[in-house]
């Protein structure tokens, strides 16, 4: 195998291992170097690329490890469900909290993932790289036979789900990467990532008043931009959902429950912004989106793991979540979640084994 490109930076990733994320006087900077291997339909087409390894798409060869608490992992759960990959790509669901070493499978019987046979995701990383120097992040895709991690490059994972796993897409799977929109969509997603997805963390982990205020200004400039963009179109790219909507949704669905207070992002709540709130509810009520969200796990992760921000580790009882199921009114803008003219349809019911715990989501009452 080629030498897989990865950083030797040992600074912790927020969504990987427990540790101190706030550094006095410093602006928060995310380590964005990941294991850059890819799983593709035809590895031979990338023979000239020596920077990473290319693994073949195969049914039931790999296992997606994705904690529901993590917004980056939540993206993969949504894309997997929308595209209908459940029959060919199994999923392991770590619990919402972890220690300095790794995410753990404490929700599974005996604390062991039933397919990989491991207690910690760290074991899969070490099976591939015994001296792996960086954070153990989710999502990660693991080769089941060897027990070794393949990739944890979350934006590439979901893009490849759409483009490289097509042979296993369900009938009626949506086109989340329309070719005619891709250039503009990449620009939109870049701004969403730098200013919103990562912007909330820049606020939460700011090490000084000055860096916090700068981060806060950047975040709300971008949120105001999206609020305006959504005033004339139902979804970010137009009439139907795309990958861009997945990437924004996982931040929006956590905003009032966590980012508003825990990360000090509270100029106003999401629920007070008519276009963003209607849009977020529209997506939440679309099969494949809200049915992947576990609000209790989300709150436990942020409020317990981030001891430097919340040293008491008290998890808030609120907010009231019933509003997520109220009418959103976005139909007035036209369009529909799935492009029916192109044959796209909603995914079927959630598998019983993958349903969110009752009481952790208004779709699943206690």
Bind-site residues for glutathione: 103
Beta bridge partners of 140: 65
Angle between helices 154-163 and 243-254 (to 10 degrees): 140
Q: What burial class does residue 245 get, using C-beta atoms within 10 Å of its C-beta: 0-12 exposed, 13-18 middle, 19+ buried?
A: buried
Q: Kindly state the greatest CA–CA separation across the chain.
A: 55
Of 183, 112, 141, 108, nearest to 40 by C-alpha is 141
The count of C-alpha atoms lying within 13 angstroms of the C-alpha of 119, restricted to the half-sphere facing its C-beta, is: 5
How far are the Cα atoms of 57, 143, 291, 341 from residue 169, in angstroms, in the given order?
A: 12, 20, 19, 18
Decide: residue 294, CB within 10 A, 0-12 exposed, 13-18 middle, 19+ buried.
Answer: buried
CB 151 within 8 A of CB 35: yes
User: Pseudo-torsion of CA 320, 326, 329, 334, nearest 10°?
Assistant: 110
Q: Which of 114, 89, 91 is nearest to 39 (CA)?
A: 89
Token pair of 130, please? 């015994």
CB atoms inside a 10 Å sphere around CB 340? 11
**Catalytic residue set:** 70, 201
Angle (CA) 298 155 291, round 5°: 40
Q: How far is CA 354 from CA 167, 171, 248, 349, in A?
A: 23, 21, 23, 10
Please tell me what DSSP assigns to residue 238. B
Cα→Cα distances 14→5, 175, 201, 202, 305, Å: 21, 31, 9, 11, 10
Cis amide linkage into residue 319, ω under 30° from 0? yes
């Amino acid at each position: 195998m080629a030498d897989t490109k990865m950083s030797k930076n040992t600074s912790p990733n927020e969504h990987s291992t427990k540790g101190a994320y706030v550094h006095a006087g410093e602006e928060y900077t995310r380590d964005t170097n990941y294991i850059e291997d890819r799983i593709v339909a035809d590895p031979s087409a990338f023979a000239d690329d020596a920077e990473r390894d290319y693994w073949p798409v195969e049914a039931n060869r790999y296992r997606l490890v994705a904690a529901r608490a993590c917004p980056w992992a939540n993206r993969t759960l949504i894309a997997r469900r929308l595209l209908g990959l459940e029959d060919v790509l199994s999923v392991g669901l770590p619990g919402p909290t972890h220690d300095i070493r790794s995410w753990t499978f404490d929700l599974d019987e005996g604390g062991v993932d039933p397919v990989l046979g491991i207690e910690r995701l760290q074991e899969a990383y070490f099976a591939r790289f015994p001296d792996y120097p960086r954070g153990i992040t989710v999502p990660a895709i693991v080769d089941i036979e060897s027990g070794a991690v393949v990739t944890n490059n979350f934006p590439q994972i979901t893009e490849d789900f759409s483009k490289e796993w097509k042979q296993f897409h369900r009938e009626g799977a949506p086109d989340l990467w329309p070719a005619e929109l891709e250039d503009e969509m990449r620009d939109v997603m870049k701004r969403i990532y730098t200013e919103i997805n990562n912007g909330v963390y820049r606020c939460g982990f700011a090490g000084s008043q000055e860096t916090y205020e700068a981060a806060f200004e950047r975040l709300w400039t971008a949120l105001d931009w999206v609020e305006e963009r959504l005033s004339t179109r139902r979804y970010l790219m137009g009439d139907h959902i795309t990958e861009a909507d997945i990437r924004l949704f996982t931040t929006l669905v956590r905003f009032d429950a966590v980012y508003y207070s825990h990360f000090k992002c509270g100029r106003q709540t999401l629920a007070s912004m008519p276009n963003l709130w209607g849009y977020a509810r529209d997506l939440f009520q679309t099969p494949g989106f809200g049915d992947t969200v576990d609000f209790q796990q989300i709150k436990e992760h942020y409020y317990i793991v981030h001891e430097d921000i919340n040293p008491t580790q008290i998890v808030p009882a609120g907010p009231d979540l019933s509003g997520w199921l109220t009418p959103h009114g976005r139909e007035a803008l036209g369009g529909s979640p799935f492009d029916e003219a192109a044959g796209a349809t909603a995914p079927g019911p959630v598998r019983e084994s993958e349903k969110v715990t009752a009481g952790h989501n208004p779709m699943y009452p206690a």
